[in-house]
């Protein structure tokens, strides 16, 4: 009990002497779907993830895998793509602002257009600005193996044919962002995994920081 009290006091003091961080959090709250209390709760989560293997304020790829699979060396195309897409500054690590901005896209209140574009970047494996058949194939195969589904090569090719046929409106054999937007509007269920309902309850998931935080949402007017 006494230790808990000391920890809470340390948290309080840390916040008191770190106004720069509060300003950064307020700024992130103004630019994303999260409130400042939710950003504080995310900071709690971020600190745990970023200190899991290499103790710094950056999430390394191994720490990201560990968070997703409880295994730092698990190879998985989706996890690696997700990591690369979260790594907005493309410096090989995820910093707190990358983390918040990327997770914000998965928030139930985030604009659908952001979700569609994020998913497009996820599938555009080679960063060519198009989703090409070979990229789609890799993602479909990863999904199939992830779900432990037994699908023949012919069945996979059929899925690819159908998707390209439906999505590639100008017939150049690849899917551009506008075609992707049209395709998703006709197949909205594809976006289902781009929303994490848990993010709406992030302050309940990490209640410590709500109790500790000194900034009330209403006080932040930017």
Residue ranges in contact with Ca ion by CB under 5 A = 50, 54, 56, 58, 60, 124, 126, 128, 130, 132, 168, 170, 172
Terminal-to-terminal C-alpha distance of the chain? 38
CB nearer Ca ion, residue 128 or residue 204: 128
Cα distance between residue 51 and residue 147, in whole Å = 30
Report the helix count and the strand count for the chain, using DSSP H and E: 12, 2
Cα distance between residue 107 and residue 59, in whole Å = 20
Cα distance between residue 25 and residue 91, in whole Å = 21
- Taking alpha carbons only, the member of 52, 46, 43, 37 closest to residue 204 is 37
Smallest separation (angstroms) from Ca ion to the CB of 94 = 9
CB nearer Ca ion, residue 170 or residue 214: 170
CB nearer Ca ion, residue 44 or residue 124: 124
Smallest separation (angstroms) from Ca ion to the CB of 142 = 15
CB nearer Ca ion, residue 92 or residue 207: 92
- Residue facing Ca ion at closest CB distance: 128
Smallest separation (angstroms) from Ca ion to the CB of 70 = 16
């Amino acid at each position: 009990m006494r230790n808990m009290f000391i920890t809470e006091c340390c948290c309080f003091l840390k916040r008191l002497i770190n106004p720069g961080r509060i300003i950064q959090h307020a700024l992130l709250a103004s630019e994303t779907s999260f409130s400042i209390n939710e950003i504080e709760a995310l900071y709690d989560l971020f600190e745990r993830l970023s200190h899991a293997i290499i103790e710094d304020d950056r999430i390394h790829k191994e720490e990201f895998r560990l968070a997703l699979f409880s295994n730092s060396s698990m190879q998985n195309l989706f996890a690696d793509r997700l990591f690369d897409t979260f790594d907005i500054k493309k410096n090989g690590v995820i910093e707190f602002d990358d983390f918040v901005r990327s997770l914000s896209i998965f928030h139930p209140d985030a604009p659908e257009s952001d979700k569609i574009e994020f998913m497009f970047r996820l599938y555009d494996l080679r960063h060519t600005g198009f989703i090409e058949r070979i990229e789609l194939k890799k993602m479909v195969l990863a999904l199939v193996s992830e779900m432990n589904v037994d699908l023949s090569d012919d069945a996979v090719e059929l899925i690819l044919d159908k998707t390209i046929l439906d999505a590639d409106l100008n017939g150049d054999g690849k899917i551009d962002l506008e075609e992707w937007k049209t395709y998703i509007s006709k197949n909205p269920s594809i976006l289902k995994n781009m929303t994490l309902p848990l993010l709406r309850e992030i302050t309940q998931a990490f209640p410590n920081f709500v109790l500790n935080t000194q900034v009330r949402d209403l006080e932040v007017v930017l």
